[in-house]
Amino acid sequence: MKKLEDIRGQLKPVMTNDELAVLYAQISYFKPNKNRVGRWAKTLGYRLTKQMIDRKVLWFYINEQIED
């Protein structure tokens, strides 16, 4: 089980729900789902954005405070 400080370097300004779910699974005992990952992302400073590409809705989490 990793700590939040260990994964801070893996956070990017734009991340998908799947990418955040992998990181959430590393620091939590709970199984990641959309609700838990979304709440955790909000505490990290991310906001949810959806975008339609090729008639599919894609969900992204954006954090302007993180620089590349």
Angle made by CA atoms 33, 15, 11, in degrees to the nearest 5: 100
pLDDT in tens, 6-63: 888 899 999 999 999 999 999 999 999 999 999 999 999 999 999 999 999 988 999 9
The packing angle between helices 34-43 and 17-27, to 10°, is 80
Query: How much is the pLDDT for 63?
Result: 95
Is 23 inside a domain boundary? yes
State how many domains the chain has: 1
Phi, psi at 33, each rounded to 5°: -135, 175
Q: Is residue 12 part of a domain?
A: yes
* Segment (H or E) for 27: helix 17-27
Domain ranges, residue 27: 4-62
Dist CA 1 CA 3 (whole Å)? 7
**pTM, to two decimals:** 0.85
Higher pLDDT, 30 or 68: 30
Query: Is residue 68 a part of any domain in this protein?
Result: no
For residue 67, tell me if it sits in a domain.
no
